[in-house]
Structure 1
Amino acid sequence: MQKLTGNILLGHQKKYLIHIDEFNYFNGSLKLDKISYFIITTNNTDKYIFVEQFCYNSDGHIYSILFKGQTAKHLSHIILHLNQLNIIVSIDHALYLGRELMKSELTIILDQQYIQD
């Protein structure tokens, strides 16, 4: 058994790593979802996260769906897995939503103001 001294990865394993800075870039362009968008707000007093999804129907009219929950996990499940709501979200949008929901949950825990990116 090999003893680990500070490094978890062995030398030959490190060649498979890609420097994380290569992925931490933003090209400055924002791609909006053509089907819907989300507005996230928090209520630190009641400890709730509110997610309002604004959707466009086939006629181009807008309607909204309001979700309310206390954890990012709960809201993610409701928004992305309830098929009866017929919600379609791109992978990029789902990842963004997950990050923002975690951030909103942390702001409630830390009693901070939530600002959506």
Structure 2
Amino acid sequence: MLLSHPDRQALKALDHQLSNRFIKLDPEGYFVIYLDREAGLICADHYSNAINDKGLATDPETGEVLACKGNLKRIPTATFRGRTAKELGKLITEDTQPCPLSYLDHALYLGREFQRAEACLLSGQDYVQD
């Protein structure tokens, strides 16, 4: 029996719902992903953070809650660059010690985002991190 073609709207709604769920933040930090089109690279800046008693990411130096949006100026602890999602993922999870992430769901999220970033790099579309 053939499966019916997936309903794109239903899949988009599911993805949106999953993107808005509560997630436990990785105490090893977070990544800001962007493209360097001129160099043909996917880039990921890693930032350290602390997690407060409410589960919010805070600046480890000041204790201030880190906002998701805005003009927060922090210096990354490391910048990773790769030509493909696989190269970037390998660099972060296999070649960097200690590994700058500790949660499997964080690693899965990064893999998805690196794949999206690679697709945008190849297609010329804008990349916006989810």
- When normalised by structure 2's length, the TM-score is 0.62
Q: How many corresponding residue pairs?
A: 98
Partner of 1:68: 81
* Contact 2:93/2:99 (8 A) holds in 1: no
Q: Tell me which of the two structures has the higher relative contact order, counting C-alpha pairs closer than 8 angstroms and 6 or more residues apart.
A: 2
RMSD of aligned residue pairs (Cα, Å): 2.7
User: Gaps spanning 5+ residues in structure 2: where?
Assistant: 4-10, 51-59, 62-74
Aligned to 2:125: 112
- 1:72-97 C-alpha deviation (Å, 9 max, x unpaired): 00000010112534433310000000
Counterpart residue number, 1:46: 39
1:36 maps to what in 2?
29
Identity %: 32
Cα-to-partner distance string for 1:51-108 (whole Å, 9 max, x where unaligned)? 0111248xx3485110011100000001011253443331000000000000000001
| Aligned partners of 2:29 and 2:100 also within 8 Å | no
Contact 1:38 1:53 in 2 (8 A): yes
Pair 1:46–1:63, CA change in 2 (3 A): closer
Q: How far is the alpha carbon of 1:35 from its aligned partner?
A: 2.3
SS at match of 2:48: strand
Taking structure 1 as the reference length, what is the TM-score of the superposition? 0.68
Bigger Rg, which one: 1
Q: Pairwise mapping of residues 1-117 of structure 1 onto structure 2 (< 5 A)?
A: 7=2, 25-26=17-18, 28-56=21-49, 60-61=60-61, 64-117=77-130
1:78 aligned counterpart, secondary structure: helix
Question: Is the Cα contact below 8 Å between 1:56 and 1:63 reproduced in 2?
Answer: no
CA distance, structure 2, for counterparts of residue 63 and residue 39 of structure 1: 9
